[in-house]
Amino acid sequence: MKNNSQLKFIMLILLEIAVLIFLLTNISIIPQTLRFIINLFFPFLLGGAIAFVINVPMKKIELFLINKLKVKQSIARVLALLLATMFVIGVVGFVLFLIVPSFVNALVDVAKQIPILVQDLGDSLIRWFDDIPGIEDAVGNIEKTMSNYQEVLVEFATTSISRFVNQFFNVLTSTISVLFNVIVAIFFSLYLLLSKETLKRQCKKILFAFLSEKRANWALDLGTLTHHSFSNFVTGQLTEGFINGMLTYIGTLIFGFPYGIVLSVLVGFCALIPYFGAFIGSAIGAILIASQSMSQALIFVVFQIIVQQVDGNIIYPRVVGNSIGLPAIWVMVAVTIGANLWGLVGMVLMVPLASVLYTLFSMYTNRRLDDKEINIDSVDSNVIGKLFPREKAITDESHTQNNPEESK
């Protein structure tokens, strides 16, 4: 029996070594495999994200219908889902309806000014070239060179057209694929929201069937902690977006920026992206204002820089950090690491994930201190004096010489 256990242990070690060698020699396969898995399950991951966002207002609506209006739970669930979905779609639609037309009009205004700028630039270049001696001969040589390359240019244009056609069909195929994934994600999110209790019960059965009771309870606690972290993060981001929108609206009233309401909604909506979203909204807002006044656009940029400094260093760490129990410094670290790893998605996901890891590590650290019966506040920090008493005596002697009154 003992030999069998030793043999299994040796086989397990050899298997782990073989897997490690395979991964090290084929390390390029790892990101490809992860990308394949993510693409395979993308509709369901997207559906889970949609369900999570809708579930935030849905819970409050469902509790209101059950507790205040005394509606049956089965009916309250369907009504809450419909109302929450309409609310989310209405908010997104309102933002798009408010921003997109104004942004398009601003781009049209900017496009109308481009020919004037180009004409002025062309006139300036012509006057500048007229002052250069021998410019006519140089232009004639350029025309001869261009005529020699006429066939090359025709061939290049033909190739470009064929590439454009291929890219057009690739974009069309990708668009159809994205629409299909979105439709699947929406139906999957609706199923998740309508069957929350059933899915929770099935997960519990699987955990307790294949894990020990201690590990199953730990997994449930981890799931609860993760759910609370993400829920509080969504709530904190919505609060952050509202604060940014209000600050921007106050700025439009003070400085008289055009598109006041549009700018406020735009900055507030983009602020849902941690830290850097408000800068994106500010850049788009500056383009809108530039179509009316360049000086106002510059003032708006300076105003938003000041607002974002206050927001990034004071408001955001406290609003979002306190809502998820993560200190301000770790919120900034999490956003930076997430952006470097996975871009925009990483910026959104890394903060609640860091909150979960921070809470777990804090619990583990406190438990180890309790097991050692150590009170960290009563620990003597003069470790050097204990390890090196001679150095401590020299330090005390020099201190006495520098302060003779204390020695008396």
Domain ranges of the chain: 37-134+141-194, 213-373
Three-state DSSP class for residue 394: helix
The pLDDT of residue 174: 80
The HSE-up count of residue 223 (CA atoms within 13 Å, CB side) is: 10
Residue range 142-151: average pLDDT? Answer: 58
pLDDT band at 82 (very low <50, low <70, confident <90, very high): very high
The HSE-up count of residue 77 (CA atoms within 13 Å, CB side) is: 10
Residue range 8-33: average pLDDT? Answer: 76
| Cβ atoms < 10 Å from Cβ of 276 | 17
Asked if residue 344 lies in contact with residue 316, where contact means CB atoms within 8 angstroms, the answer is: no
Nearest Cα to 314, choosing from 302, 301, 331, 299?
331
Look at the alpha carbons of 231, 333, 341, 18 in this order and tell me if their dihedral is positive or negative: negative
Q: How far apart are CA 200 and CA 193, in angstroms?
A: 11
Q: How far apart are CA 55 and CA 235, in angstroms?
A: 12
The pLDDT of residue 149: 55
* pTM of structure: 0.65
Percent of the chain at pLDDT > 90 equals 8
Tell me the range of 26-30, 115-119, 348-352, 403-407 where mean pLDDT is highest: 348-352
The pLDDT of residue 407: 46
List of residues 6+ apart from 35 with CB closer than 8 A: none
Task: Give the residue ranges of DSSP H helices in 311-327.
Answer: 316-324
Of 31-40, 149-158, 219-228, 244-253, least confident by mean pLDDT is 149-158
Backbone dihedral region for residue 212 (phi beyond 0: left; psi -120 to 50: alpha; all else: beta)? beta
Structure tokens at 317: 């760490």
Q: How far apart are CA 85 and CA 101, in angstroms?
A: 24
Residue range 81-102: average pLDDT? Answer: 83
Dump pLDDT digits (tens) for 292-336.
Answer: 788 898 999 999 989 888 877 777 666 666 666 777 678 778 888
Greater model confidence, 329 or 242? 242
Tell me the range of 100-114, 126-140, 144-158 where mean pLDDT is highest: 100-114
Of 55-64, 109-118, 164-173, least confident by mean pLDDT is 109-118
Q: How far apart are CA 177 and CA 338, in angstroms?
A: 27
pLDDT at 209 > cutoff 90: yes
Asked if residue 353 lies in contact with residue 334, where contact means CB atoms within 8 angstroms, the answer is: yes
Tell me the range of 14-23, 158-167, 189-198 where mean pLDDT is highest: 189-198
Q: How far apart are CA 231 and CA 324, in angstroms?
A: 9
Three-state DSSP class for residue 363: helix
